[in-house]
Homo-oligomer: A and B are copies of this chain.
């Protein structure tokens, strides 16, 4: 997608150098950062300079390539994988990318590993772009249908958190169909939930939509229900951190409230996700453990000062505790459909198995 009129990705390489957009500085500063060693990649993941499951996977792959370029021996590869895995040990895509890279490299002679590592990391990045593009293509007809139903533009779309190209290598998940619709000339406008406490909507989604030229408005997380009640939202599209085999969706805290409001007002509520986020081992989302993060993300916030600096301020009384739940679970009954790289599915076990029939026998065998 575009930044300042120029097409960009969140991660790319030039020869043996890897570059990222440092997302911790957005939306106030746009900074590109060079990563020269695997340790630099580990730092970037840990410090959330890169974030979003697909992007973390691609970054880890490039981290392995950087490690191998320096030392292609078995021990060095294992050490790099361990270093990178420790940055976000629960990230599914991270583990998957590291396993993939080790599987591709270990059978080769050390002298053949560096070129294969770069090639495989590039492939992992391209596969993610292809997956996002496929989600865009499958989601586009849903936006076209909303326009046809409404009879006039703009189609008003609500989204929560950041499931855009900044969370992937390009295109994104929830925002991918929106970018494609915009490219096709469909008039649209995006309501961007600021997404407390980390404000990924206000800082990342608003920034990437603005840079690409997509009309949007930032709202507080409290406002979406009211907008739906007054007919100002034609559809909602959000991402998913983890999707159960029955279609329950664990996503950024607050997603459930928007799904309730969409249901109450007859607004279609779509969840866009790469199939890598589907956890085929769980049916019931209410059993998913919800991460509690540091309370300071609720009690303090950072922003740009009038003089161009960045300041961190405290919002709560010094003596008041705060709690910080990272995700909530939206039950499948509130999800109109899931948009995956294979197509659109009903949010149910049967809906998902129709798109991923290879899982049918595996599940039956379990």
Contact = CB atoms under 8 A, between A and B. Distances in A.
Interface of A: 26-28, 192, 194-197, 199, 202-203, 206-207, 209-210, 216-227, 229-230, 252-254, 256-258, 260-261, 264, 286, 290, 298-306, 310-325, 327-329
A62 to B, nearest CB: 27
Contacts of A230: 286, 290
A139 to B, nearest CB: 23
A28 to B, nearest CB: 7
B196 A222 contact: yes
A233 B221 CA distance: 20
21 contacts: A27-B316, A27-B320, A194-B196, A194-B298, A194-B316, A206-B320, A207-B317, A216-B320, A217-B321, A218-B298, A220-B253, A222-B252, A222-B257, A226-B327, A229-B328, A230-B286, A257-B257, A257-B260, A301-B303, A303-B315, A310-B313
Nearest to A286: B229
B328 A298 contact: no
Q: Quickly give the copy total for this chain.
A: 2
A225 B313 contact: no
A345 B304 CA distance: 48
Contacts of A319: 210
A253 B315 contact: no
A315 B197 CA distance: 12
A31 to B, nearest CB: 14
B226 A325 contact: yes
By DSSP majority rule, is chain A's interface helix, strand, loop, or mixed? mixed
A115 B315 CA distance: 43
A26 B253 CA distance: 27
A91 to B, nearest CB: 21
Contact of A210 (B207, B229, B320, B325): B320
Nearest to A304: B314
A316 B218 contact: yes
B303 A254 contact: no
Complex A-B, nearest 6 residue pairs according to Cβ-Cβ distance, in ascending order: A222-B254, A303-B313, A226-B328, A27-B317, A196-B220, A206-B320
B298 A303 contact: no
A210 B317 contact: yes
B316 A202 contact: yes
Contacts of A199: 315
A313 B316 contact: no
A253 B303 contact: no
Given A202-B315, A313-B313, A253 B229 contact: no
A323 B189 CA distance: 13
B253 A222 contact: yes
A206 B317 contact: yes
Nearest to A329: B229
A28 B299 CA distance: 12
Contacts of A26: 317
Contacts of A302: 313
Given A218-B298, A230-B290, 6 more contacts: A194-B316, A203-B317, A206-B320, A223-B253, A226-B290, A229-B256
